[in-house]
Structure 1
Amino acid sequence: MGLKWKKPEADLTNYYTLFIEIGIVVVLIIFLTATKMPIRQVQKEVDLTVEQEVVSMEEIVQTKQLERPPAPPRPPVPVAVPNDAVIEDEILDISADLNLAEPLELPPPPKTEKEDKEEDFFVVVEQMPQLKGGLSSLQQCVRYPEMARKAGIEGRIIVQFVVNEQGKVEDPKVIRGIGGGADEEALRCVKLAEFEPGRQRGVPVRVQYSLPVVFKLQN
């Protein structure tokens, strides 16, 4: 089989450059034509005459809680009373004669006690009571309680009382104590004490008086 030789005019490879140049020119023409064309902007007209939807806002009213008055009490239930019940009338005897000339006997007035009793003693007088033998005689009467001794209790006790017209002690009471049985011992000794009574304008009177009783341990 013999080889066929192509003619130089039939070889398309010789026209590649020409085809490329023609393509570029066509593209440029199309581009320039497109850029020179007028661009119309389509604007959508809005018809304002059309009634738009109206949105209404409903106002919320704040509710108030009403206080209701309490219900009235129920009326009492009537109780049936038999008709045959007979109510007896009380007969008052007013036949007694009333003599206004005679004096009327009034009931005695109620007995009332005085709430505030007047004090029957003096606090300060011209001549105050004097303890016979002095405080040393009172201290010699004191016996130290064993409970206070074991507990190591010591101190001063004040006893208040009333010295009557005979110089005797009445109603003694401890107004400041130390405990441990010492208060009771101080009262015992004060009750045995004797005084020269106090005097007001030379007359013996009842006088309120106070005495100290000392408890002290000896080392």
Structure 2
Amino acid sequence: MQKGKPFRNEPDTVYLIRYQVCLAVVLIVLIIIFRVNISHDRTSDRMDVVSTPVAFLEIERTVYAEKPSPPPRPVSGIDKPVDVLIDEEIILLRDREYYFRLPFRLVESDLSHLARPLLGEVEREPKLLTDTRHVTRGLPYPQEARMAGVQGFVVVEFTVNPHGYVVNPRIVEGLGWGCDEVAMNAIKRFRFRPALRDGIAVSVELRETVYFKLI
């Protein structure tokens, strides 16, 4: 052995180098794993922060208000009760005829010769006060009858009470095809000056024949 040179064991040096290299590799791997974990945690945080879109429903609110009642119809002189004594006796007076045409007009025929008193004569016959043109206004020729070309007549009996109103209308001879209903609605619109007997307003029975004719 020479003096002045340090002793170096060659195998120990190689082992030390290998140990240091392994330690460095382990540290690098740990650093990489640590950084990957941090990056994953940040990504998870960002994913958790993303808000879920919320859908809003627009609800239309409808306010229902009560429709005011229509004002009362003015009372005309025709609709006023007759200020006379009333007799409950009913007299069958006469027949009369009316015609439905297109355009709709209700034409009265003078058939006074068909008068048939039931319980005695009257000193004043009932007089129709309603304009027949006004009666048919808003009453269409029945659609079914018009489409089928149906024409004919409907006989309606009714009572004119002591106040001149039509009460208890009924079909004596019908035509069908919606004509009966139209004839009844027309008759219900009639207003009369009541009949008098011995100065007292009496109820009378009338029979009207309503003709339906397409022109």
Whichever of the two has the greater Rg, that structure is 1
TM range (shorter): 0.3 to 0.5
Looking at secondary structure, tell me which structure has more strand per residue: 2
TM-score, normalising length: structure 1:
0.42
Structure with more relative contact order (C-alpha pairs < 8 Å, separation 6 or more): 2
TM-score, normalising length: structure 2:
0.43
